[in-house]
Amino acid sequence: MPELIQGRWVASDVAASELKDGAFEREPTRFRQWITADGRPDAAGRPTLPAEPGRYQLFVAGLCPWASRALILHRLKGLEPLVAVTFTDAVLGANGWVYSTPVDAGPGIAPVRHHYELYLATDPTYTGKVSVPVLWDRHEARIVNNESADIMRIFNRAFDHLTGNTRDFCPEPLRAVIDAWNERVYHSVNNGVYRAGFARSQQSYDTAVSDLFAALDALEAHLAGSRYLAGEYLTEADWRLFTTLVRFDIAYHGVFKCNIRRLVDYPALSNYVRELFQWPGVRDTVRFDDIRTGYYSIASVNPSGIVARGPEPDVDRPHDRDRLSGHGVQDLVRAA
């Protein structure tokens, strides 16, 4: 993707810096500091920051599933009064993520027009991709964390003492199961659609799309008899899968050539997505117009720039998931 090299912005095709011999290899995130309730060092002795009202800001893009999963935890944990949210414009272009209206990011930085300004404020010599989500410290004018998996877990716990919301989407008794699902889904599905869409060789594409649909077939079989990935309980693993699936038919099936089957061809997965989309608070985190416009505007995979008119997302019909035993999260509440 367009990137910074030694603090200098270099415009290029989306994902260009992450292509190796025709295959897409995602660049790891770089900023991984943690926020905890009290800001004490973690078990490994690494410094953390304290959870404080108004100190942090979440930067997201409606297109991006990685940003979307952080946004969902933000919403489900009731963090709206504590952590501000800022959306980029819909299209990821030569200048990366941009803000058509300059964004207030706190007293230590001028209003932001380009997302990469947040990275330069954090490290003036930064080299690498400029991605969302970003969890930003308004007090210190720097990025705290830009890894969506970390941000989800920060939001799951760090602010509970301020919100009183102790619903737990990653409970300790299920941690091993959740981590196993996250690992499996990440490689074949979350990142699998990108491996297919950005492939620059037939072999790389064939491998990616085969892995993807083998995983979707296995998920269909599992969710036909299990309410959620980890069984009866709705966890972060479901939200990490959901943000890819809800984009599948309107974006990945077309522009990323993930077209062996559609999501609507999978009865269990389709009903699963409808249940999660209809979960209180989630609907407003999914911006279908941004998703469609954003993906079809990526020049390297859709040179014409023509945005497809369909299909319309099938998310409002009743789902059939109540036939399966499930507790949601009401029984996954940490003791105060």
Give me the DSSP letters along 141-179.
TEEEE--HHHHHHHHHHTTHHHH---B-SS-GGGHHHHH
**Separation of alpha carbons 128 and 219, rounded Å:** 34
Q: Is 309 exposed, middle or buried (0-12, 13-18, 19+ CB in 10 A)?
A: exposed
pLDDT at 24: 86
**Separation of alpha carbons 220 and 333, rounded Å:** 28
Matching residue, tokens 């300790």: 172
Strands (E), the chain: 3-5, 8-10, 19-20, 23-24, 34-36, 48-50, 56-60, 84-87, 98-103, 112-114, 128-129, 134-137, 142-145
For 17, residues 6+ apart whose C-beta sits below 8 A from its C-beta are 1, 3, 27, 129
The one catalytic residue in 64, 228, 272, 296 is: 64
Q: Is 100 strand, coil or helix?
A: strand
pLDDT at 327: 73
Question: Model's pTM, two decimal places?
Answer: 0.95
Give yes or no: 170 in active site. Answer: no
pLDDT at 45: 87
Domain with CATH 1.20.1050.10 in the chain: 172-279+305-323
Assigned architecture for domain 3-163? 3-Layer(aba) Sandwich (3.40)
Domain with CATH 3.40.30.10 in the chain: 3-163
**Torsion angles phi and psi, residue 297, rounded to 5:** -95, 0
**Torsion angles phi and psi, residue 87, rounded to 5:** -100, 140
Among candidate residues 98, 276, 78, 196, the one with its CA nearest the CA of residue 313: 276
Taking only the tens of pLDDT, the chain with its 336 residues reads 678 999 999 987 776 778 788 888 888 999 999 999 999 998 888 899 999 999 999 999 999 999 999 999 999 999 999 999 999 999 998 899 999 999 999 998 999 999 999 999 999 999 999 999 999 999 999 999 999 999 999 999 999 999 999 999 999 999 999 999 999 999 999 999 999 999 999 999 999 999 999 999 999 999 999 999 999 999 999 999 999 999 999 999 999 999 999 999 999 999 999 999 999 999 999 999 999 999 999 999 999 999 999 999 999 999 999 999 887 655 554 443
Tokens of 160: 């509970």
**Separation of alpha carbons 135 and 118, rounded Å:** 10
pLDDT at 335: 41
CATH assignment of 172-279+305-323, given 3.40.50.1820, 1.20.1050.10, 1.10.565.10, 1.20.950.20? Answer: 1.20.1050.10
**Torsion angles phi and psi, residue 113, rounded to 5:** -105, -35
The one catalytic residue in 56, 126, 194, 233 is: 194
**Separation of alpha carbons 280 and 274, rounded Å:** 12
